[in-house]
Structure 1
Amino acid sequence: MQSALAELWQFFIANLRASHFGVFLLSIFLVTEVVDVPLISRYDFIFIAAVGFQLCALIFRFEQPKEFFVIFLFHLLATGMELFKTNPDIGSWTYPAAGSALFVIATVPLFSGFLYSAVGSYMSRAFTFLNLTFERFPAYHHFWIVSVLIYLNFFTHHFFYDIRYLLFAYVFIIFWKTKVYYQVYQKRRTMPLLMTTLLTAIFVWIAENIGTFTRIWLYPNQIESWQLVPLGKLGSWFLLLILSFALVSIIYRDKLQHR
């Protein structure tokens, strides 16, 4: 029993260390919800804080340059999607205080890219802190085909047929045998990759509820009064995590075992 508790604690600590950027952002959201930041807009403060955090992480070597590369790549792709999704003609969600921010492009405050970067940062750092390896990983080209289709569908489903259910099927077919191996204590453990992705999506959904509760961004049904983010968003995050995994795999491909 004591050994199990010790392993659970080590698992928690490893995940906390891997998610340090996400935890930092959520903390800033909560603090700025109850404390007014003087002389600067809330969104600009979050952006400056996020940039400062990343610079400190690099300077003090809390993050490796390759992890920073992943964060930068996520930021670029995410900003492109944010510009599309927050366009008034699409209106998937809004940033209610964007009008008062300086660091903003059209309807998108620049800190928003860091929201996705935090997910990428976690996945990248998890390789180190959870000592991740994979077994029966699918052919790499299938991985990238489904990932590109996932990204494109976030745009095209507004105009054409939504293929997300086909994408779920594709993901299940290529990953249903894939196992994740991790070790944070004495024994090496394993879990199906699909289950790992679903559990991670649940935690991202919880974080998203914190973000909307603090009115950092809002979905249309939350503008008049806050309510939980619909559970249907779990599917979107599940697919987005597959895309995130593809981007992270650029620097960790040697950990992926295909057989």
Structure 2
Amino acid sequence: MPRSLEEIDRLLIDPPPAPALAGFRRFVVEFLLFGIKEARACLFAGLFFVSIFVTPRDGLFGIPRYDLLLVIALGIQIFMVWSKLETMDELKAICLFHVVGFALEVFKTSGTIQSWSYPDFAYTKVLGVPLFSGFMYAAVGSYIIQAWRLLHVRIRHHPPYWMAILVALAIYGNFFTHHYIGDYRWYIAALAIGLYARATVIFRPFDRDRRMPLILAFILIGFFIWLAENISTFFAIWHYPNQIGAWSTVHLGKWSSWTLLVIMTFTIVASLKHIREKIYIPH
């Protein structure tokens, strides 16, 4: 029997094979294991967003809600590293995603832009943005990092890394520049589709490899983030201008923005792994 969360993780990553399993029974087992691994990959994101939903609007024990969410996010990260569900290298990547996301939040909520706002008071607001907000972007990075390991992810026909990095920079840059020189997201999306058209993600839900077009994976992840954003705005964590009077569904166009952000996040993870593999090639 597993005696620690780390051992449970190892068992989940490499479950005992069942070569005789076939047909509908294999489908059910693989589907269930895939769901369990996806849920495990979403551990940080899931716990963090549950805390968003259950934290009272006026805070708890005199601690404002945004400050409480920051404490919870830090607590989850400390727990994951302590329990060895997350490595120090993965934590460093999470911190990078936090910085990238927080910089975008500061710009988007600035006085001249005001794409959305954080209406509640907090002691841990910097330039009008609560520090916990960067963890919403870090949650996406955490999911990709964890899913990569849990599902033995490999990418076939990955485009040249320098091209992928340029597209990722264009995606990130467009989040800023479209307020001044026009929104080129659809041009960048077309470029990304062309770049990743041949790319296939190979993953292992159980004991056999499965595959999916990488672009489809980006789109599906982006959709689920869009759903989470709808829930977050419903609970008034932040507001878009059209939601100030009464809540309404987040515009479907945000799905495309989240999909592009997933591509950017994936590129960071893939590039870091590529660099690490080059450094640690055995001699």
TM-score by length of 1: 0.94
Report Cα offsets for 1:31-77 as digits up to 9, x if no partner: 11489512110010000110111111112211011111111001111
Greater than 4 Å deviation, 4+ residue runs? 33-36
Does 1:199 find its partner at 2:216? no
How many angstroms apart in 1 are the aligned matches of 2:162 and 2:271?
Answer: 12
Q: State the partner residue of 1:120.
A: 141
Q: Would the alpha carbon gap of residues 220 and 194 (structure 1) be closer, same or farther in structure 2, given more than 3 Å must change? A: same
Structure showing greater relative contact order (alpha-carbon pairs closer than 8 Å, 6 or more residues apart)? 1
Out of 78, 87, 90, the position equivalent to 2:110 is: 87
How many angstroms apart in 2 are the aligned matches of 1:26 and 1:86?
Answer: 21
Q: State the partner residue of 1:67.
A: 90
Alignment: residue pair count: 254
Q: State the partner residue of 2:191.
A: 170
How many angstroms apart in 2 are the aligned matches of 1:113 and 1:35?
Answer: 21
Name the amino acid aligned to 2:42.
S
Q: What is the CA-CA distance between 1:252 and the residue it aligns to?
A: 1.9
Does 1:42 find its partner at 2:37? no
Q: What is the CA-CA distance between 1:88 and the residue it aligns to?
A: 2.2
Q: What is the CA-CA distance between 1:160 and the residue it aligns to?
A: 0.5
Identity %: 37
Kindly report which structure 2 residues correspond to 1:230-241, keeping only aligned pairs within 5 A, or say none.
Answer: 230-241=251-262
Q: Would the alpha carbon gap of residues 42 and 76 (structure 1) be closer, same or farther in structure 2, given more than 3 Å must change? A: same
Task: Name the SS of the counterpart of 1:159 in structure 2.
Answer: helix
How many angstroms apart in 2 are the aligned matches of 1:17 and 1:112?
Answer: 22
Q: What is the CA-CA distance between 1:255 and the residue it aligns to?
A: 10
Which structure has the larger Rg over C-alpha atoms? 2
Q: State the partner residue of 2:150.
A: 129
Report Cα offsets for 1:143-191 as digits up to 9, x if no partner: 0000001111100000012211110111011100100000011321000
Partners of 2:202 and 2:212 within 8 A in 1? yes
How many angstroms apart in 1 are the aligned matches of 2:31 and 2:234?
Answer: 29
Q: State the partner residue of 1:7.
A: 30
Partners of 1:178 and 1:193 within 8 A in 2? yes
In structure 1, the gaps of 5 or more residues are: none
Task: Name the SS of the counterpart of 1:111 in structure 2.
Answer: helix
Report Cα offsets for 1:103-135 as digits up to 9, x if no partner: 110210000000000000000111111110010
In structure 2, the gaps of 5 or more residues are: 1-23, 278-283
Does 1:56 find its partner at 2:117? no
Q: State the partner residue of 1:17.
A: 40
